[in-house]
Structure 1
Amino acid sequence: MNSVANKVAVVGSGISGAVCASILARNGVSVTIFESARGPGGRMSQRREVTEDGRELVFDHGAPYFTVSKAEVWDLVREWESRGLVAEWDENFGAFDCISHKFLGIQQEGLTKNYVGVPGMNAICRALCQETGVESKFGVGVGRLEWLEDENLWSLMGLDGKNLGQFQGVVASDKNIVSPRFTNVTGRAPPLDMNLVPGMAVKLQDIPVIPCFALMIAFAEPLFAIPTKGFRVVNSKVLSWACCDSSKPGRSATCERWVLHSTVEYANGIIAQTGLLKPSEATLKKVAEELFHELQCTGLDISQPFFKRAHRWGSAFPATSIAREEKCLWEKNKRLAICGDFCVSPNIEGAIVSGIAAASKLSSCW
C-alpha cells in the first residue's frame, strides 16, 4: 500500500479535472492526469491553425469566456488573475435579430464581468496541469478502469491495452467514461463498468449533450460593420453565437479572428446525416461554407476571410445537471469521484465548482 499511498488518477484535463488535480496536489496528494487529447483544456482548449502561406492563427473555438458568481470560484479566479492566467474581457455584447437585421440590447460596459484565459482559454488548465505534485500524460486515453477488490485499488489500462498504473483513488471528469456515446464512437465498452458503482448508475446512464459546430475565420481587415465584439444570433436556424476572438486580452492583433457557433438544430441535422464518427474534411468544408453564408445573410458588410475552418463539438456541452446539490458524484468505498459541468451547471463555473467538490471528497480520505 505504501507504493501507491495517496495516489489519485484524474481522467480528463478540462477545467473540472485540472482544478481538482491542483487542489489535491496542494493537499499533498500525488496526482496523475490522463488526457486523450494532445493538450489540456477540453472545451477550453485553444486551436492552432496554419494558413497556406505559413501564418499561424489561434482560436478559442469552444467556450468563449466565463462568468463568476460563487465565492469559492472567486477565490480561484482572483489567484489566477494575480498570476496573469486570466483577465477581464471588457467589451460590449449584444444580440442580432436575423428577421429585423438589427442589433438588439447591446450591453453596456461594467454590467457583467466576462473572464478569459490569457493568452488563450487553455492557459488556466495548462498551468494547473503543470503544478508541483501533478503529472500530466497527454495523448493517453483510458480504455478501462478496474477495481481490484483484494488490494482495494484502482487499476487503469490505456486504449492500447497497456497498464497505466494502480491508484488509491480516481476522479473522472470526462462524462464519456461511462457514456454509451463512447461505444458509438469507438466500438468499445465505456471505460467504467457501471456494475462497479450501482449507486451512480441511474444518474450516469445517458447524460444528454448538446452538439455544436464552430467556425474559425480570419480577416485581413476589421469588420467595422459589427458594433460589438460578441453577439447572440436570434431567429436563425444555423447560427447561435459570434465573437471577435482577437479582441480578447493578450491575443495577437495582426489580423481579426472570429469564432461562430452553430445552433443545436443545425448540428443535429448534420450529425443525423454523417453519424457520430469524426467528420470528414468534406463535411467540415460544407459546414464552414454554410455557417459563413449565414453570417453573410445578416446583411452586414462582411468581407471574405483569408482563413475558414470548421470544428465539431460532439459532446462537450451537457444539457442537464445530475448532481446540483452534491456538486459531484461520490463513491466513498471505492474512492471514486465523478465531476464536471454536467454535475452542477452547464458552464465553466459549474465545472470549477464540481472539481472543487471532488477534490474535497478525495482529500477527506486521508
Structure 2
Amino acid sequence: MQNTVTKVAVVGSGNCFFENFEPTVSGAVCAATLARNGISVTLFDSARGPGGRMSQRREISEDGKELLFDHGAPYFTVTNPDVLSVVAEWESRGLVAEWKLNFGSFDCFSNKFVNTENQERPSKKYVGVPRMNSICRALCHEPGVESKFNVGVGKFECIEPENLWSLMGLDGQNLGHFNGVVASDKNIFSPRFTEITGQSPPLDLSLAPELVKLRNIPVNPCFALMVAFSDPLSLVPAKGFSLTNSKVLSWAYCESSKPGRSCTSERWVLHSTMEYAKDVIAQTGLQKPSQETLSKVGNEMLQEFLGTGLSIPQPFFKKAHRWGSAFPAASIAKEEKCLWDEKKRLAICGDFCVSPNVEGAILSGLAAASKLQSMLSSL
C-alpha cells in the first residue's frame, strides 16, 4: 500500500426507529478483519452499543433486581470451516463458550416433550460470554477500528472522479471521506426505511445499479418475551426447547443457564411464531409498538407458556420486545456471500446474504472484508 491511509466506513442502522440496531456481527467481523490487515476502519451506528440481534437487554424489576437477557439470538451453531476457525479464536480469548445443556421439543397438542438430544450428538451451541454482545463489543474495539456509536448516517454520497465516499450524519454533519464503504444493515437501503420514517434511505441504490435486487428483501418479524422467576422451573426437563402445535410460541430458552450468567433468578426468553407476530403487526402497523400493544403481546405469550402443563408459576418480571424486521426470509447472495460493486468499492453484508443466522452473518462479513482488502491493496 501507499503511505496514505486507506479508510473504510462500516455503517450500521441509520435511524433509531428500528428495533434491530446494528452493527450486527457481520459488520463487526468485517471491520475487525479489515483492521487486522492494515486498513483504517470507522464504524458508525445510531445505537448506544454493538450487538444487533446479539445484543443484551438490561432491565430492573420492581424490587430493584438487575435482570439481563439475551433477547435476540440465544446461541449459534457452526459448520463452515472458515467460521469454525474464527469461533475457535474467540473461544481462546474467552469471548464465547459452549452451552452444553440438553435441548428438546415440546408438543403443545399433547402437552409432552416429544424428543430431547440425549440420544444424539447435537451440534455445539455457542454463546457469547458473559453476554451475547461480548463478541461484537470486542471486535468493535480491535486496534485499527474506531467505533462511533450514537452517530446515525443520514446520507451516502459518491464523489467522482476521485471515487471516494462522503458520509453525512442525520444532522447534516460531515462524517468524513472514505475509500470504501460497507453497509451491514438492510434498513440503510430498504423501502421500509421510508415507510417508517417518511425519509429517503441513507443509501440510494441508484448509485450502484448492480445491487438493485436489494430493494425488497422479505423479512419475518418476531416478538420476544423476557420473564424472570424467583425459583428454578424444576419440572421443565430442558433448558431450551422448540414448541410445536402452538400458534403463539416457537422457542423457549433459560437465559440464566448459559455459561457466565448470574443465577440469582431464573430468567427465560420466549420467542413468538412468525405468524403470530405478522398478525399483530397487521393490526398495529410497522411503527414502534405502543406499551399497550407490548403488554397485550406479553400477556398472550406468557399464558401460552403457562398453559403447557409444566407447573410454571407466575413470573415476578415480564417484558415484551418486537423484532420488526430482524429475520430475513430469503438469502440473496448464497454463492458470493456478500454484494459487491467493484467500481464504487461498496460492499453490503449480512445474514440476508447467506443464511438467516449468526454463522451466515460471519461468513458474509468475512467475504465483504476480502473483497475490499483485495481492491484496496492496489491503491
**Equivalent of 1:351, from 336, 361, 365?**
361
- TM-score, length-scaled by structure 1: 0.97
Q: Per-residue deviation at 1:79? A: 0.5
Task: Map 1:40-79 onto structure 2 (within 5 A).
Answer: 40-79=50-89
Q: Per-residue deviation at 1:149? A: 1.2
Separation in 2, partners of 1:140, 1:55: 31
Contiguous gaps of at least 5 residues in structure 1: none
Listed one character per residue, the Cα deviations across residues 194-247 of structure 1 (whole Å, up to 9, x for unaligned) are: 11111110x201001110000000000001111001000101110000000100
Paired residue type of 1:213: F
Any conservation in 2 of the 1:49–1:58 contact (CA below 8 Å)?
yes
**Equivalent of 2:149, from 134, 138, 145?**
138
Paired residue type of 1:7: K
Separation in 2, partners of 1:35, 1:240: 31
Separation in 1, partners of 2:141, 2:73: 22
Task: Map 1:1-366 onto structure 2 (within 5 A).
Answer: 5-12=5-12, 13-108=23-118, 110-201=121-212, 203-365=213-375, 366=377
Listed one character per residue, the Cα deviations across residues 141-171 of structure 1 (whole Å, up to 9, x for unaligned) are: 1111111113311011112222211111000
Any conservation in 2 of the 1:8–1:168 contact (CA below 8 Å)?
yes
Paired residue type of 1:350: G
Paired residue type of 1:106: T
Paired residue type of 1:114: K
Q: Per-residue deviation at 1:254? A: 0.5
Q: Per-residue deviation at 1:282? A: 1.0
SS of alignment partner, residue 95 of structure 1: strand
Q: Per-residue deviation at 1:3? A: 10
Listed one character per residue, the Cα deviations across residues 150-193 of structure 1 (whole Å, up to 9, x for unaligned) are: 33110111122222111110000101111111111111111111
Paired residue type of 1:31: V
Separation in 2, partners of 1:164, 1:272: 38
Separation in 1, partners of 2:272, 2:182: 31
Any conservation in 2 of the 1:4–1:166 contact (CA below 8 Å)?
no
Root mean square deviation of aligned Cα: 1.2
Paired residue type of 1:195: S
Separation in 1, partners of 2:339, 2:56: 28
Residues matched between the structures, number: 364
Separation in 2, partners of 1:279, 1:186: 14
Change (3 A) 1:4 1:171: farther
Listed one character per residue, the Cα deviations across residues 53-97 of structure 1 (whole Å, up to 9, x for unaligned) are: 221111000001000101110111111001000000001111111
Separation in 2, partners of 1:267, 1:4: 50
Separation in 1, partners of 2:101, 2:155: 45
Paired residue type of 1:353: L
Separation in 2, partners of 1:356, 1:196: 24
Separation in 2, partners of 1:58, 1:160: 33
Change (3 A) 1:15 1:127: same
Listed one character per residue, the Cα deviations across residues 247-299 of structure 1 (whole Å, up to 9, x for unaligned) are: 00000000100000001111011111111111111111111111001111112
Change (3 A) 1:168 1:4: farther
Separation in 1, partners of 2:285, 2:191: 14
Separation in 2, partners of 1:363, 1:194: 22
Runs of 4+ in 1 over 4 A off after TM superposition: none
Q: Per-residue deviation at 1:111? A: 2.4
The 10-residue stretch of structure 1 (97-106 or 157-166) with the greater mean CA deviation from structure 2: 157-166
Contiguous gaps of at least 5 residues in structure 2: 13-22
Any conservation in 2 of the 1:207–1:320 contact (CA below 8 Å)?
yes
Instruction: Percent identity, please.
Output: 70
